[in-house]
Chains A and B, each alone.
Chain A
Amino acid sequence: MNGMLFAILAATIATVFAGIGSAKGVGSAAQTSMGVLSEDSSMFGKMLVLTLLPGTQGLYGFIVGFLIMINCGILGGNAPTLMQGLSYLAASLAIGIGGMISGFAQGKAAVAGISMCAKDEKNFSKAMVSITLVEIYALLAFIVSLLMVISIPGIEM
């Protein structure tokens, strides 16, 4: 028995949970920005940027999922051993959980940033920077997951 099932589960967890975070974050940001746009459609560019900011978590999750697939024999590489499969599963939890919760949080920050920007366009850069403050935690989770995933095939287990 090899660890294929767990590797697939890992890829799913990374992609789906981080995706949920982003989907919720971007969703609520998009709702707010559409409210703003209904008043002043000229702000579309700025609103788009702020709306997309919570979207990166999903991307990170997807990349981790993709790298797992590349490494574990679905899109190349060799089938993992049982322990390797379980290790993938463990590694994917970082971006899965970190991405999801930071996505929720960043979505809230984006909503507030959009309201701030709607009041005065000059606040745009401040809003943008404040929203990216949340991002670092998704990034850290991503890097941890990533470093683990790329080193697992090299470890004998």
Chain B
Amino acid sequence: MAKMKMKSVRIIALKKDRKRLLEHLQDSELVHIRQMDEAEGGFERTDTTAQIRQFEKNKMLTEQALKILDKDFPEKKGLLSSFRGRREIEADDIGKIAASSVKVIGVCTKICDLEKQRADIAAERVRIKTQTAQLEPWKDLDIPMNTADTASTAVLIGSFPRMYDEVSLSEALAKENTEIVFEYEILFSSSNLTCVVLYTPKRQKQQTENALRSLGFTRPLNPTSRTPMEKVRRLKQKDEELIEKTEKIQKSIEKYVKYRNMIRDTQDYFQFRAEKYKVISTLDQTKHIFVLYGYVPEEDSQTLAALCEKTADCIVEFEDADENAPVKLKNNKFTEPAESIVTMYSPPSHEDIDPTPMLAFFFYFFFGMMFSDAGYGLLMIIATTVAIKVFKPDKKMRNNLKLFQYCGIFTVFWGLVFGSIFGDAPAVIYKLVTGNEITMQQLLPWPILDTQKDALTIMIMSIGLGLVHILVGMGCKFYICLKQKEYAKAFFDTGLWMTMLIGFAVLAAGMAAGQILVYIGEGIAIASAVGLLLTQGREKKGIFGKLVGGVASLYDITSYISDLLSYSRLLALGLTTGVMAQVFNMLSTLMGTNVFGIIFMIVIFIIGHAITIGLNALGSYVHTMRLQYVEMFSKFYEGGGKAFEPFALNSKNFKINNKHHE
């Protein structure tokens, strides 16, 4: 239920055992390797960048290959497949994966090559398409496009960038040069293109060409030695060949689909190796030995020592860890799921205590109060239990599901307190069946707090719970200060505020319960205030400074008040869930009790409650988180620690069935 005690460890071993020892360490996932920037005097480092680069390159290759396979032959995945845990394999299987890695990389290379060919073909097809389009206006030309002049006649084939018809072209040419004689045929004419073939006596060729040029006449690019029709036909034929080729490539890629899982495994394998070589590059070495520095939780230290000594001739030394040690949290089954909420904020620093136990309870409790519906809570419990049973998710996902399972339990609890089961569904159904109006209050055998009628009571309760929450946070601060022997901070800065808040609480209770409590509360609050006045300026100089410091500190009361008011969201969100559910229940019964009405009711009921669950679960999650982070953590929690990340086999696709740990 706390941060695990860390030991720093130094392993000295012979270089010949390096590979074996590291492999075992990676398998066991016990050590967090400490990365040192510089080698210690007398030691040197091995440069492994080349190997690492090779592994990463291979990894990238597998990634590309997988991407290609996924694009062409997507795997059928269930909607809920993201819950599913990784495949389990035996430790020996790693050897098999390693053995087949060369072959798999070969396959990946082939897949990537095929993809490249296919891309080339696609580019080629685009080229053909453009060419065909360019030839389109020329399709009426029945001679090759590069037809040469005959003995006496020049043949000019080309186009103008504007529209001409038989008359206007003759006129235009005549305007340029009246001497030339010519004969022509317009093959194609549109608003910005006119294709013509023009014949002229060879002796006038030069003059004609000049006249034409001044009208913007250009010869076609890439003229062919075939007629345009023929060329188009050939292009089409080529295109068909290319399509066929693409299909063939597609088929060849399909042959590799069966390697998909092997490629994934290989990807992980290269990830392991890259990580191993990254560690090797940080080891201090001499000619014959190497030294590895790291951290290990104290309870695992004996296992680690035994493992190392069994594997190789080595010396394993433990020392108490320094401030920079990473943090590993250990909690019981009930609080462990909330660890992710703590780490999402920031892992605890060296001075911090592990806030998970406090956070866990209040997280579930407040979530339940805001979501507050027995029906929804039950759904959450069932859904998460089924998901855990069926999908056997990985630890992280399982903990997330567990988090919502526990939240679900408290949701049921608060749902029963507020008398809300799918809103007022039982009462609505009762009315539908018997025709009599009934409230949930009358229907349920236990006394309930109605979120609408007793809103004020619930609001006071919310703020009361908030006070407890804040006091717990301050209690943690008090404890931390005591542990660090900063008694002034503990008693004056935290303790006095705690008594002050308690004084106010007693005073408030007294207003309802009796005058005597009011006096007691006032007494406590005033005594605390005086205490604060006298102590808060203790670091200032001079009597005046001390007094001002004390008075100024009393101003902090505003921040406590705003913190407390913040808990009114417990009421607001609880009420939101209840009212929304009620609205949908009311809507669902609008169409009466005929067959159509019943169908309408079921549909609206399901859709409506799905919306309510979605919106309010999100709201409850966000707001309970905020209450932990802003209201409670601000009282004592620093964060900024480093999480314990052991040197491990970080695989995406499989997990190794290992006896030492989960």
Contacts and interface: CB of A to CB of B under 8 A. Distances in A.
B580 A139 contact: no
A1 B558 CA distance: 46
Interface string B570-582: 0110011001100
Interface residues of B, number: 28
A129 B629 contact: yes
B600 interface: no
Given A132-B626, A143-B572, A125 B456 contact: no
A63 B630 contact: no
B452 A56 contact: no
Contact of B455 (A66, A125, A132, A146): A146
Given A52-B615, A59-B615, A150-B452, A66 B566 contact: no
Contacts, number: 63
Given A136-B566, A142-B572, A143-B571, A125 B615 contact: no
B618 interface: yes
A138 B236 CA distance: 67
Contacts of A135: 569, 623
Given A128-B622, A150-B452, A60 B576 contact: yes
A78 B634 CA distance: 48
Given A59-B580, A60-B576, A67-B452, A49 B618 contact: yes
B568 interface: yes
B625 interface: yes
Contacts of A157: none
A52 B615 CA distance: 8
B361 interface: no
Interface string A91-135: 000000000000000000000000000000000110011001101
B586 interface: yes
Contact of B453 (A63, A125, A140, A150): A150
A146 B453 CA distance: 11
Interface in A57-75: 59-60, 63, 66-67, 75
A147 B576 contact: no
Interface in B593-631: 615, 618-619, 622-623, 625-626, 629-630
Contacts of A14: none
A63 B575 contact: yes
B344 interface: yes
Contact of A147 (B455, B565, B622): B455
Contacts of B345: 125
Interface string B428-462: 00000000000000000000000011011001000
A147 B619 contact: no
Interface string B337-375: 000000011000000000000000000000000000000
A146 B568 contact: no
Interface string B148-176: 00000000000000000000000000000
Nearest to B454: A150
Nearest to B619: A56
Nearest to B614: A52
A75 B590 CA distance: 12
A85 interface: no
A66 B615 contact: no
B575 A129 contact: no
Nearest to B456: A147
A55 interface: yes
A21 to B, nearest CB: 16
B569 A139 contact: yes
Contacts of B586: 75
B583 interface: yes
5 contacts: A56-B576, A63-B575, A66-B579, A129-B625, A143-B568
Interface of B: 344-345, 452-453, 455-456, 459, 565-566, 568-569, 571-572, 575-576, 579-580, 583, 586, 615, 618-619, 622-623, 625-626, 629-630
Instruction: Return the 6 tightest CB-CB contacts between A and B, nearest first.
Output: A125-B344, A132-B626, A63-B579, A129-B629, A139-B572, A139-B569
Given A52-B615, A55-B615, A150-B455, 6 more contacts: A63-B579, A129-B626, A132-B626, A140-B565, A147-B455, A150-B453
